[in-house]
Amino acid sequence: MDSSTRVRLIEPADAAAIAAHRVRDVEAFRPWEPAQPARFLTADGQAERIEKLLAGHRAGTVWPGVVLADDQVIGQVTVGGILPQPHLRRGTVGYWIASTAQNRGHAGRAVELVLRVMTDELGLHRAEASTHLENLPSQRVLRRNGFSPYGVAHSSILLDGDWRDSLLWERVLGG
């Protein structure tokens, strides 16, 4: 894994860099993500999305991060669906890395670092994630970070007009 990879809380100033990656990689992400409105690919659209993410962070329901390499934004890693109640201390991990930075260990390192955030900062006990059945690279990232598959969510996401299954992953963090 690339030890120069870092994660930090997303900032409004990250909107332009994220939009640039998303515009360039729209076709690369098409198999894995639902279609987005055109505004999603603009800096203004990303700024609005970031504000909503930060509002969720203030409310304690999300930890939205960016992935950095050499202090440049190269992707995102987010803990969503945070349930901090004593009997449900869990969150769901999601991430993407720009095509220009893939296959260099950044995704694995970002997940490793966000698991530390989940444990040390958020006090969570359980991490969850999901991947498409065909997304073997993402499955390798999760396995290398101690996740285990535990089921299939049938017809869980609509992509290009078809409902697709997702593989569900879990990792107990401790605490």
DSSP string covering 88-150 = EEEEEEEEEE-GGG-SSSHHHHHHHHHHHIIIIIS--SEEEEEEETT-HHHHHHHHHTT-EEE
Domain CATH number, residue 39? 3.40.630.30
> What was the pLDDT predicted at 2?
47
- Looking at the chain, the whole-number percentage of residues with pLDDT higher than 70 is 98
- Whether 162 maps to a domain, the answer reads no
Average model confidence (pLDDT) for the chain? 92
For range 33-53, the mean pLDDT:
91
> What was the pLDDT predicted at 85?
80
- Whether 111 maps to a domain, the answer reads yes
- Whether 144 maps to a domain, the answer reads no
Q: Give 3-state DSSP helix, strand, coil % of the chain, rounded to 5.
A: 40, 35, 25
- Whether 158 maps to a domain, the answer reads no
> What was the pLDDT predicted at 29?
84
Listed residue (77, 101, 138, 134) closest to 25, CA to CA? 101
> What was the pLDDT predicted at 30?
80
Cα separation of 172 and 175, whole Å? 9
- Whether 151 maps to a domain, the answer reads no
- Whether 21 maps to a domain, the answer reads yes
Token pair in block for residue 61 = 């329901």
- Whether 61 maps to a domain, the answer reads yes
Residue 121's domain spans which residues?
Answer: 6-129
Phi, psi of 21 (to 5 degrees): -65, -45
Provide the 10 A C-beta neighbour count for residue 62: 21
9, β-bridge pairs: 65
> What was the pLDDT predicted at 3?
60
- Whether 79 maps to a domain, the answer reads yes
pLDDT, tens only, 110-163:
999 999 999 999 999 999 999 999 999 999 999 999 999 999 999 998 888 889
For range 98-121, the mean pLDDT:
95
> What was the pLDDT predicted at 1?
44
For range 161-171, the mean pLDDT:
94
Total number of domains in the chain: 1
Sorted by sequence, the CB contacts under 8 Å of residue 131 that are 6+ apart come out as 138, 139, 142, 166, 167, 169
pTM of the model: 0.92
